[in-house]
Structure 1
Amino acid sequence: MTSTPPTRRREWLAPAGLIALSLVPVLSGAARLTQLSTGATITADNARFFDSPVPIVVHIVGSSVFLVLGALQFAPSLRRRRWHRIAGRVVAPAGLLAALSALWMTIFYEMPASVTGPGLSALRIVLATVMAGAIVAAFLAIRRGDVRTHSAWMTRAYAIGLGAGTQVLTFVPYTLAFGAPGPVLHTVLMAAGWGINLLVAEIVIRRRARAMSARRGRPAPASVVSAPLS
């Protein structure tokens, strides 16, 4: 019996970790869909979903597909295969639906105090817009054959989309130590989740660009390494 080479096993660590982190919003979304389909008790925290269920259903389905299939796009062996291109035709529209539905819900849903804080709605609007713009930028880049730029912008979009997973890591330690955060800290902890993801994304983008440049024997374009997030 042959064993999987160590390098092949290592390349799956990142996708596996991303999928594990994605389970938080995916399972939470599945629970929300169950509530909507079975007619759960309507409360102040979920009334908006029963009043207008289409945006939340689109968001849950779109973000779940985007996060799970998107995680597999980080496996180098899959990126070198036709599967990457086929999956990308599903991942990009799913991510766009997730971002646009998040934008719609932020603007039109009446958010209860338990899920918001000062400036959080504005932050959500900015990040949803940036995520949608990043996916469009990635699509335009791959259409002109610019793989580096495509990869960079999709990585940023994925970082924003995975915010709900990382926010568990910012909220749980604080809540266990100090109790439920107040409105201001709620916003800070939410922003920290997105900030951590975007910082990691920029590190990944720079390392990937340097590795590609080393293989090709030329420096990475500044437009890829230092591209702004808006």
Structure 2
Amino acid sequence: MTISPTWTARLSTAGLLLLSAVPVVAGASRVAGLAAGAQSTPDTARFVEAPAPVVAHIIGATLFCVLGAFQFHRGFRRRRPGWHRITGRVLVPCGLAAALSGIWMTLFYPLPEHDGARFGILGIERLVLGAVMAAAIVISLRAILRRDIVRHRAWMIRGYAIGLGAGTQVLTLMPWMLTVGEPGAFGRSMLMGAGWLINIVVAEWIIRRPAAARARRARPVLTGGTAGASPGR
């Protein structure tokens, strides 16, 4: 049974939305709690005292991940090019808000103990990947303004992969927590880093796949061990 490209695109979009579901629901719960006047506890004091960065991060990341999932549906882009352009104008500020607020929170929020030192492994991961995500979005924007669609697509995929890290981190953290328990600072940094790494590897595979396919199609066919040799010789 062969799956049609349309169904492949639909399944990919559904998969991205499913991957976004847990962090989106958790983020919505956090924002709702802050709006309702949540009580300050040791775990939430930083959010209650300075809610703007975390609210900007949650809203920006939610829109970036959910709307972005539809941007990668080729058939949807072709049928609704206007939607693709309008949504792109929303995604750029949302993605930058998510990346830059994430950097701000890493630098200035009091961090929970399980995150380790501010400039420990997890802190460095967040700072570096937040900066790369912001840079990827800016490069993608500059590329589309120059009508360089291939470069625009590649860098937006990279930015989206990093932004979707929280979804994949559910898959890397949750099994460990259910079977072993709460990881320490080092284990947490490794498991969260694994979530980002998985997304980055998949993104690079997606980016390079069309070029590899073109190279295979352009490869000369060898007959009888010699290119261009006739069967009778």
Q: Structure 1 length normalisation: TM-score?
A: 0.87
Deviations along 1:182-204, one digit per CA (max 9) or x if unpaired, are: 11101100100000000000001
Deviations along 1:31-59, one digit per CA (max 9) or x if unpaired, are: 10111011223111111011111111111
Aligned to 1:181: 183
Query: Is the contact between residue 114 and residue 184 of structure 2 (CA under 8 Å) also seen in structure 1?
Result: no
Aligned length: 213
- Mapped partners of 1:127, 1:189: distance in 2: 15
Match of 2:44 among 39, 43, 46: 46
Whichever of the two has the greater Rg, that structure is: 2
Letter in 2 for 1:122: I
Deviations along 1:157-187, one digit per CA (max 9) or x if unpaired, are: 0010011100010011111221111111011
- Mapped partners of 1:98, 1:139: distance in 2: 16
- How far off its partner does 1:116 sit? 4.2
Match of 1:134 among 133, 136, 145: 136
Q: CA 1:69/1:217 → structure 2, altered by over 3 Å: closer, same or farther?
A: farther
- Mapped partners of 1:14, 1:166: distance in 2: 15
Q: Which consecutive unaligned segments of at least 5 residues does structure 1 have?
A: 219-230
SS in 2 for 1:45: coil
Letter in 2 for 1:107: L
Q: Structure 2 length normalisation: TM-score?
A: 0.86
Report whether the alignment pairs 1:89 with 2:89: yes
Aligned to 2:107: 107
Q: How does 1:157-172 map to 2 (within 5 A)?
A: 157-172=159-174
Aligned to 2:68: 70
- How far off its partner does 1:79 sit? 2.5
Letter in 2 for 1:187: S
Q: CA 1:36/1:101 → structure 2, altered by over 3 Å: closer, same or farther?
A: same
Q: Which consecutive unaligned segments of at least 5 residues does structure 2 have?
A: 220-233
Q: CA 1:74/1:130 → structure 2, altered by over 3 Å: closer, same or farther?
A: same
- How far off its partner does 1:217 sit? 7.0
Query: Is the contact between residue 134 and residue 159 of structure 2 (CA under 8 Å) also seen in structure 1?
Result: yes
Letter in 2 for 1:34: A
- Greater shift, 129-138 or 97-106, is seen at 97-106
- Mapped partners of 1:69, 1:21: distance in 2: 13
Deviations along 1:58-117, one digit per CA (max 9) or x if unpaired, are: 111111000000010110112324121121111111101111111111111111113446
Query: Is the contact between residue 45 and residue 114 of structure 1 (CA under 8 Å) also seen in structure 2?
Result: no
- Mapped partners of 2:41, 2:184: distance in 1: 21
- Mapped partners of 2:4, 2:195: distance in 1: 31
Q: CA 1:116/1:32 → structure 2, altered by over 3 Å: closer, same or farther?
A: farther
